[in-house]
Amino acid sequence: MKTDQLNSKSHNEIIPGKWARFVEGFRIFLSERLNAFSLGLTVFLILVAVFAPWIAPHPYDQVNPSYGMQPPSFEHLMGTDQAGRDILSRVLIGSRISLSIGLIAVIIGLFSGVLIGGFSGYFGGLIDEFVMRIVEIFMSVPGIVMALALVAVLGPSLPFIILALSIRRITQFARITRGAVLSVKQQDYVMACHGIGMSHIRIFFIHVLPNCAAPIIVLSSVMLGNVILTESTLSFLGMGIQEPTPSWGTMIAKGNEYLTFAPWVSVFPGLFLFLTMLAFNLLGDGLRDHLDPRGGNIV
């Protein structure tokens, strides 16, 4: 009798809905001060990028040769570059470009990588062996070297830059997804799905993939910072975004020439790049701790 009472009590507990659980998880995530900070910084940077044209105090391409290399002042908070353009405005517009390139490259990498790695891990066998070999080969080429070489032979136009940045993300997402799928597909409930004759496609998309979400989400955040860095490095080396479109990398490279007497030209874009990387890295860390409390090295 006592047992019955106990059981009925536990059954009566309200099972939270999907949305409520998400909100609760989000609340726990934000209760960590560092997470709140990194999410705030990320949102801030995204807002800045979205509203850049309206925030920017000057047109980003307004040339004023007689007013070049001005140190930071009230008029130009970050000073001006060699052509007298307002650095703050260029940094703001630059964030728009960097963020969108990063986002597109990560999305391409995410979708193709998850599908390739997921199917490879799920079906296994020779195809898996083959795919993983290819991934391993691609992983052997350092990301920046691959991107540089591709842009060098294809030419530094936007689609090719994005392609060069995505290829490595595809392999990284494929590897992570495959690993996750391999462990999930051995779980009893997946076996049970096979047992009741569910189709592979349904099992894969409904029962396997959603359970691999944690490492993929974490990787996405880390990769965003990473792609933005690679793009900046490309631009810095002159193989990325071309003038007059502002890009942090190009601005830092230009500033490098006047480093000794006008350090602000390269310091401020670098600072923004640093903040962006910081935001995404911290966010990735926070997500990793939140989604994988064991602190495993999922990325």
Partner 1 sequence: MLIFIIVRRLIFSIPTIIGIGTLAFMLGHLTPGDPAIAALGIDIEGYSNVDQAEVERVRKELGLDKPILVQYVSWLGNALVGEFGRSYVSSVPVAELVFEALPSTLLLMLVTMALAVIVGISLGIISAIYRGRWGDYLARLITIVGVSTPTFWFAIILMLLFAFVFPILPITGDITQHGLKAMILPSFTIALHPAALIARIMRSSMLEVLSQEMTRTATAKGLSPQRIYLVHAFRNAVNPVITVVGFQFANLLGGAVAVEFIFSLPGLGSLLIEGIYEKDILVIQGAVLVISVAFALSNLAVDILYMLIDPRIRL
Partner 2 sequence: MPDRPILELRDLQTNFYTRQGVAKAVDHVSYSVHAGETLAVVGESGCGKSVTSLSVLRLIPDPPGKIVGGSVLFEGEELTEVSDQRMREIRGNDISMIFQEPMSSLNPMMTIGNQISEALIQHFGISKKAAFQKAEEMLTVVHIPDAKKWLHGYPHEMSGGMCQRVMIAMAICCNPKILIADEPTTALDVTIQAQILKLMEQLQQKLNTAIIFITHDLGIVAEIAQRVVVMYAGRKVEESTVRQLFAQPKHPYTVGLMTAVPRLENFLEEESAPSRLTEIPGAVPRLYNLPAGCAFVNRCSFATDQCRQEKPPFEEKSPGHWAACWQEIGS
Which residues contact partner 1 (rule: CB under 8 A)? 133-134, 136-146, 148-150, 152-155, 225, 229, 232-233, 236-239, 249, 252, 255-256, 259-260, 263, 266-267, 270, 273-274, 277-278, 281-282, 285, 295, 297
Q: How far is the CB of 263 from partner 1 (least distance, A)?
A: 6
Stretch touching partner 2 by CB under 8 A, among 2-10, 15-23, 33-41, 117-125:
2-10
Residue 86 backbone dihedrals phi, psi, to 5 degrees: -70, 120
Cα(30)–Cα(65) distance, rounded to whole angstroms?
Answer: 48
Nearest in space to 271 (alpha carbons), one of 241, 251, 242, 246: 251
Say whether residue 36 binds partner 2 (CB under 8 A). no
Q: Which lies closer to partner 2 via its Cβ, residue 7 or residue 64?
A: 7
Strand, coil or helix: 81: coil
Q: d(Cα 209, Cα 201) in Å, to the nearest integer?
A: 11
Q: Residue 2, interface with partner 2 (CB under 8 A)?
A: yes
> What is the spatial distance between Cα 199 and Cα 210, in angstroms, rounded to a whole number?
16
Amino acid identity, residue 211? N
**Contact pattern for partner 2 over residues 4 through 23, marking x by CB under 8 A:** --x-----------------
Residue 227 binds: one of partner 2, partner 1, none (C-beta under 5 to 8 A by kind): none
Look at residue 2 and give the partner it binds from partner 1, partner 2, none, a contact being a CB closer than 5 to 8 Å depending on partner kind: partner 2
Task: CB nearer to partner 1: give 122 or 236.
Answer: 236
Query: What minimum distance in Å lies between the beta carbon of 13 and partner 1?
Result: 31
Nearer to partner 2, 10 or 186 (CB): 10
Sign of CA dihedral 90, 225, 145, 175: negative
For partner 2, the closer CB: 6 or 47: 6
Is residue 244 reached through a cis peptide bond, with omega within 30 degrees of 0 on the bond before it? yes
For residue 40, give every residue at least 6 positions away whose Cβ sits within 8 Å of its Cβ, in sequence order, or none. Answer: none
Choose among partner 2, partner 1, none what residue 173 binds, the Cβ cut-off being 5 to 8 Å by kind.
none
**Which burial class, exposed, middle or buried, applies to 17 when counting CB atoms under 10 A from its CB (0-12, 13-18, 19+)?**
exposed
Q: Looking at beta carbons, which pairs linking 4-8 to residues 24 or more positions away fall under 8 Å?
A: none
Looking at the Cβ atoms of 190 and 273, the one nearer to partner 1 is 273
Task: Pick what 225 binds: partner 1, partner 2, none; C-beta below 5 to 8 Å, kind-dependent.
Answer: partner 1
Contacts with partner 2 by CB under 8 A lie at 2-3, 6
